[in-house]
Structure 1
Amino acid sequence: KETREEFLAKTGLPDIPMIALLAGSRNGEIGSMMPTFMTFADKLHALPEYSDYRFVVAAAPARSESDYAKYIGGREYVSVVFGQSYAVMRHARAAVVNSGTASLECALIGTPQVVAYKGAEINFLIAKMIIKIQYISLGNLILDRICFRELLQYYFTPDNVLYEVRRMIEDEEYRSAMLAGYQEIRDALGGEGASAAVAGAMIEELKQ
């Protein structure tokens, strides 16, 4: 495994606490997620105890700087790292993850997360009518209960993300319960080798 020092040297990131932001790989996902991500980052960064945190957007290798620059603007506390979503999640204190394979991978890595999703309202309503499922995250589906929060559509707001991220970092009982749930997910998928079982699917998703 790549050490934190190696990861920081390769990416040029400072050795400070990180929050991973995964907006997805498609144009529509990036456009839907990034504005809320940035307002959340502003709010958390404004708190004295989080002023030294770096927000790292884990971008798919097929994307470019320009896909994110228009949202990030001059925020010096936000960085973009391409093609290293796994490493970004692994070295982060917490992650805000667009629903998808990355959410399951985050659980297998062991980084506390909140899942976020915002799409076209009509598409979301149609999907809810056709697919009668209680959760959209693979980890929660596997456990058939809430292990980590899902902020969908109207619930995906900067304040809700702020609350969940602070809770994951500051509330040790909540954090420990989530990590215990992660172990149940690993066990359900076949133990420590579960990460390899989804690696191929994640790689394919990140290539898009």
Structure 2
Amino acid sequence: MTVEEKPLRIGVVAGEASGDILGAGLIAALQKRFPRLLVEGIAGPRMLALGANSLFPMERLSVMGLVEPLKRLPELLKIRRTLRQHFIDNPPDLFIGIDSPDFNLSLEESLKGAGIPTMHYVSPSVWAWRRGRIKKIARAVDHMLTLLPFEADFYREHSVPVTFVGHPLADEIPLQVEMGEARRDLGLAPDDRVIALLPGSRGGEVRLLGPLFLQTARWCYQRHSDLKFVLPAANEQRLAELKTQLEGFSDLPVMLLEGDSHKALAAADNVLIASGTATLETMLLKKPMVVAYRMARLSYAIFSRMLHTPWVSLPNLLAQRELVPEILQDDATPENLGAALLQFFDDPLLCDQLLREFDDLHQQLRRNASERAADAVCNLLDSETAGSSHNNPL
């Protein structure tokens, strides 16, 4: 049987929008090699559009913070137990956990113990905090796929099989992006001064950061009345929440969008953004940014004590120095955020240097990631098949 004819059944769990993007890219790459590919588990809209079967809504796994998931713990544990039993009763050729490590690693460990090969796509931030998790990862994962080069070095040091695949967004986004088309699509003029506001994709993030970002926009607008703002909502739920928040800011020229975060970023001069995957997209689009974050006070107290790196945003982690301002927790005030944003308008030389740095990082991550991830899947499956043949020569 040729590779093209061979059916392949994969279990996948993606817990949030960024994982859905990665999962969709991997599924598309695998479908070229395995036209009879079957994917089931937990999937988002992009993966569903490629034929994945989701046993639970992805939104149920999108929980932020350290303390907040405790409120949903019974539901999350029930979902995980159900998935574990489903995959043990109906073993896939391979299980791939995409990000969401607190949910996926325990599931992977159980499935690996049951003889199912496991792969984890997107390294947990084990190099930054909770480093003791490397022992669990080694028990749970047959192969790790990392998006960032320094992550792969960490796993090699701990003898965990790993492949650095690069990032699909770095492949998808051109090295040079045309701002004019995005502005025309949004009805913005070429000479408008535009700030994009991205308070996150999770409900908890929008509740904590949405009002703060709008207050920051007001602070900036009071000083520069020619500014305009674009505010993309990650999904219908976030759109409804942001509409409610905007009722108190009718004085601001804010364009609220459903989706279209890529277009909003492409059209912007500068960006105020929550720490997370979207900072990478912003960097790849070569947009100066200010990174902000707030968590529940107890979550932040725990998290900050466990952190082993001075940075939280992906541009700074990739550069291993501060390229963009990070303003977190109590320091994240409208005055501090606004002053940092306006500096980009006031200092064009700073912006030019920043964009050159972003271009260098973009090229480092441009590796045809989905195809490299699919190669790693095939290599793992081949090694499992070879191992089975060796153990069962008849």
* TM-score strictly above 0.5: yes
Cα distance change on mapping 1:22 and 1:156 into 2, 3 Å: same
1:105 to 281, 287, 302: 281
- Structure with the larger helix share: 1
Q: Pick one of 61, 66, 83 that aligns with 2:235.
A: 61
Letter matched to residue 72 of structure 1 = L
Question: Aligned to 1:168, which of 329, 332, 344?
Answer: 344
Give per-residue Cα distances to partners, 1:81-121, cap 9 Å, x unaligned. Answer: 12111111111010011011110111111011010101112
State the secondary structure of the residue aligned to 1:87: helix
Secondary structure of the residue aligned to 2:242 is: helix
TM-score when scaled to structure 1? 0.82
> Match of 2:302?
126
Equivalent residues of 2:201, 2:238 under 8 A apart: no
The whole-number CA distance in structure 1 between the counterparts of 2:181 and 2:321 is 37
* Residues 124 and 64 of structure 1: CA distance in aligned 2, closer, same or farther (over 3 Å): closer
Shift of 1:33: 0.8
Contact 1:23 1:29 in 2 (8 A): yes
Residue 52, structure 1, aligned to residue 226, structure 2:
yes
Output the TM-score relative to the length of structure 2: 0.45
Q: Where do residues 73-152 of structure 1 align in structure 2 (5 Å cutoff)?
A: 73=247, 74-152=250-328
Q: Which residue of 323, 329, 334 maps to 1:153?
A: 329
Aligned pairs (5 A) from 1:22-61:
22-47=198-223, 50-61=224-235
Counterpart for residue 205 of structure 1: none
Shift of 1:6: 4.8
Q: Which runs of 4+ in 1 moved over 6 A?
A: none
- Alpha-carbon displacement from aligned partner over 1:109-163 (angstroms, at most 9, x marks no partner): 1011010101112111212233312111111111110000101101111011111
CA distance in 2, matches of 1:8, 1:180: 23
Structure 1: distance between partners of 2:294 and 2:341: 18
Please list the CA deviations of residues 14-73 of structure 1 after superposition, one character each: whole Å capped at 9, or x if unmatched. Answer: 3232100000111211111122111211121122xx312211112113335431122212
Q: How many residues align?
A: 191
Report if aligned partners of 2:206, 2:238 keep a CA contact under 8 Å in 1: no
Give the counterpart letter for 1:55 in structure 2. F
1:179 paired with 2:358, answer no
Q: For the residues of structure 2 that align with 1:105 and 1:95, how far apart are their CA atoms? A: 11
Displacement of 1:76 in angstroms is: 4.5
What SS does the aligned partner of 2:315 have? helix
Asked if structure 2 preserves the Cα contact closer than 8 Å seen for 1:143 and 1:184, the reply is no
Counterpart-to-counterpart distance in 2, 1:56 and 1:106? 14
The answer on whether the counterparts of 1:56 and 1:79 sit within 8 Å (CA) in structure 2 is: yes
**In 2 relative to 1, CA 123–149 (structure 1 residues): closer, same or farther, beyond 3 Å?**
same
Find the aligned partners of 1:76 and 1:40 in 2 and give their Cα distance.
Answer: 11
Q: Which has the higher contact order (CA 8 A, sep 6+)?
A: 1
- Does residue 19 (structure 1) correspond to residue 187 (structure 2)? The answer is no
Tell me if structure 1 keeps the 8 A contact 2:276–2:313.
yes
Gaps of 5+ in 1: 199-208
Q: Is the 8 A contact 1:142 1:188 kept in 2?
A: no
Tell me which amino acid in the other structure corresponds to 2:282. Answer: C
Counterpart of 1:116 in 2: which secondary structure?
strand
RMSD after superposition: 2.2
Change (3 A) 1:197 1:83: farther
Percent sequence identity is 27
Read off the aligned partner of 1:42 and give its amino acid letter: R
> Which amino acid is the alignment partner of residue 56 of structure 1?
V
Which residue type is aligned with residue 311 of structure 2?
Answer: Y
CA contact (8 A) 1:96 1:116 kept: yes
- Gaps spanning 5+ residues in structure 2: where? 1-173, 371-394
Residues 18 and 63 of structure 1: is their aligned pair in 2 closer, same or farther, counting only changes over 3 Å? farther
- Partner Cα separation in structure 1 for residue 188 and residue 363 of structure 2: 35
Q: Distance in 2 between matches of 1:165 and 1:64?
A: 24
- SS state at 1:46 partner: helix
Q: Is the 8 A contact 2:203 2:238 kept in 1?
A: no
Letter of the structure 1 residue corresponding to residue 324 of structure 2: F
